[in-house]
Amino acid sequence: MSFTHLDDRGQARMVDVTAKQPTIRSATASGLVRCAPAVVQALRDNAVPKGDVLAVARIAGIAAAKRTPELLPLAHVIGVHGAAVDLEVTDDGVVVTATVRTADRTGVEMEALTAVSVAGLAVIDMVKGLDKSVSLADVRLERKTGGKSGDWVRTQ
């Protein structure tokens, strides 16, 4: 078995994508910030003491997508040409969805996952004073397009 991120000596390396042609790629990820009913109500009433939770989380997620290579040592520095972070308050908490797009040599799956993770953490930071038990769960890739492996959509 061959591992793409290991060299001939078994040491970690960044995959060389120099020879690949840039193509249009996108990835969508999601996650859930689980909140107590009282926090959900405060979010719906726009009554969280720290301010506009969803706006802060949206900006945090977009900024995180652009900084992914600083956080993940083997991620490539790529152009993030589009990043959208959507947040929806539900009875269980806040559903976070991020879609990231590029026209580059490698995909944006990690950027979308990072955007969801950091947006979720921003929600937690904003509401933790109301409920210490708030948590981030189910961060996962939902779909991706483009690249050598083609399109993929989660079926479960």
- Sequence ranges of the binding site for substrate: 74-76, 110-111
Structure tokens at 6: 């290991």
The residue type found at 81 is: H
151 catalytic per annotation: no
Distance between CA atoms of residues 151 and 26, nearest Å: 9
- Residue pair 26/99 in contact by the 8 Å Cβ criterion: yes
Catalytic residue among 125, 131, 138, 151: 125
For the annotated catalytic residues, the residue numbers are 125
